[in-house]
Chains A and B, each alone.
Chain A
């Protein structure tokens, strides 16, 4: 650990400087400036974050709404779907992204040429991409089933089966966001000083040992932060499910975000819709607390 800290002496220097900012205190007019600079964000935060959150909590304040939710089997199924969607979508994707970032570290020309192609899904706007996924899988004439037919396999009707529909959503989600996390881990790997790899080489560490003893300890916290952040984002993901499976068959592949939408705008029960999505708070709050703590330890680890 000490060699790592030595190699990362830079950040610790800047940390020491942080304690003596502008000679430690701000004078009258400077303090006014500093406060004035915060005003635009404070306004945005109050008007478009605090107020909607408070309004949402107020809309979902009636405890009987939650009884109504639990009594509906649709809600229980949606919770299971959301857990599957987030659990699989986030963890499989993050692990693959971590492995792929190692793959993209290789120095072969075609791997370097491959990276811009691999990033294409991320650069492509979500709506066209998911509309395309929907069309690839719909009916018997979609591209996937046409390809399967070439191999002599009759493809299933993807959106007539709940499990297949949920799986389609997970795959589409991974397709769209894996490049982003791969790039993040790639950036993390390139920031590991070359000397550490060389030291590991001299000590005779092979590929697996290098991964387990060098990469994982150094990227561990980054991996944790990214996974937590991605979990928060995925729990709130609406676009993928709304466009890929559209909740088919009969709302059975819905997640909480789309169920809340259905309740509010199709069943005209906005309070129930808000209650449905806010029922995720007992999961969201601990994740956020973990995330804040992980963000604080970042400088110690890397």
Chain B
């Protein structure tokens, strides 16, 4: 009797230790798997960026040689960009200022127009507001790049050729539908009673918009603002088409000029590209936490 129990106990403990070992092996494999995947993801994400840095750090003649590390390190190219020391880069700071001006205007206008419209539709519930939302969505039926040609013609008609405002107008038109979507989704989390009580206290719609709506919408404003700025900074086609004069040129157009020749100083081009990439990366990481709050609102419910 007792031997039977002992034997039974032994098999049970064996079985337990076997499952324990199986669990441990599984956990070990899982850790190994996630580690491998992590390394793959790091290489995948970093490789093109490494390539940019490598080319920018090479002396001019070394770019077209077979290697994976720069033979000679030099920061000549970065210095050249910052001091406008190459004829390709004569107007770099002017172009950079143009890019910043454009990004800032697109952001401000997208936020202003987006919140005004969303307030009218989402908070004041104007009749047929849904119609405006759906019409705005129609903006995405024909992609921006497909409209570039008519847009180019129209800007000549408006007298806005070679004017930064032509690109700003196009980008605002394409950023606002997304802004409506995020603002109205986010606005749903703010009780309408807040508006009601302000209204009973005699606040005008403008006061409610400025003093109550805008402050409460701060996280969504950060999310959409970052989105609009990145949109302007990522855009290439409209700037390339519409801004060709010296005074209106932005950095992407200048980068395209490098590409139009086979004899360009590639290390200078990559240095320009890295300097151009720095502001949005910095802004993105500065606002990352707050942006993901907005993304959650826009993303989850959409």
18-52 of chain B: CB within 8 A of chain A = 31, 34-35, 37-38, 41-42, 44-52
Which listed segment binds A: B2-10, B88-96, B229-237? B229-237
Q: For A192, give the chain B residue with the smallest CB separation.
A: B300
Which residues of B in the span 165-199 have a Cβ within 8 Å of any Cβ on A? 169-170, 172-173, 176, 188-189, 191-192, 195-196, 199
A111 contacts the other chain (CB 8 A): yes
Contact call A222/B176, Cβ cutoff below 8 A: no
A53 touching B142 by the CB < 8 A rule? yes
A147 at the interface (CB under 8 A from B): yes
Q: Is the CB of A52 within 8 A of B154?
A: yes
Given contacts A21-B124, A41-B113, A299-B301, is CB(A284)–CB(B150) below 8 Å? no
**A301 (CB) vs chain B CBs: closest residue:** B301
- B141:A288 contact, CB within 8 angstroms: yes
Judged by a CB distance under 8 angstroms, whether A187 is at the interface is yes
**A243 contact set on B, CB distance < 8 A:** 236, 259
Q: Given A120-B281, A149-B66, A131 and B145 touching (CB < 8 A)?
A: no
Among the stretches B79-87, B130-138, B214-222, the one at the interface with A is B130-138
Min distance, Cβ B254 to any Cβ of chain A, angstroms: 10
Chain A residues in 8 Å Cβ range of B54: 143
Asked whether B268 is an interface residue with its Cβ less than 8 Å from the other chain, the reply is no
What string of 1s and 0s marks CB contacts (under 8 Å) between B109-120 and chain A?
000110011011
Size band of the interface chain A makes with B: 35 or more
- Contact across chains for A128 and B285 when beta carbons are under 8 A apart: no
Q: A11-B188, A38-B132, A123-B280 are in contact. Are A264 and B149 (CB under 8 A)?
A: yes
- Out of A40, A127, A185, name the residue touching B252 (CB < 8 Å): A127
- Please tell me the number of chain B residues within 8 Å of chain A, measured between CB atoms: 101
CA separation between A119 and B270, bound complex, in Å? Answer: 21
B-side binding surface: helix, strand, loop or mixed?
A: helix
CB of B132 within 8 A of CB of A41, answer: yes
* Residue among B68, B142, B292 making CB contact with A56, cutoff 8 Å: B142
A38, A51, A280 interface centre (most CB from chain B within 10 Å): A38
**In the complex the two chains form, is B237's CB within 8 Å of A239's CB?**
yes
Given A49-B173, A187-B296, A191-B296; A103-B142 close (CB under 8 Å): no
> A235 an interface residue at 8 Å Cβ cutoff?
yes
By beta carbon, the residue of chain A nearest B196 is: A22
* Chain A residues whose CB sits within 8 angstroms of the CB of B285 once the complex forms: 116, 123
Interface pairs (28), CB distance under 8 Å: A14-B188, A26-B124, A33-B204, A35-B120, A40-B113, A45-B135, A47-B169, A48-B172, A56-B150, A114-B41, A120-B45, A124-B49, A128-B274, A128-B277, A131-B52, A131-B255, A132-B49, A135-B270, A146-B68, A187-B296, A222-B300, A239-B237, A257-B146, A270-B153, A277-B145, A295-B302, A298-B302, A302-B300
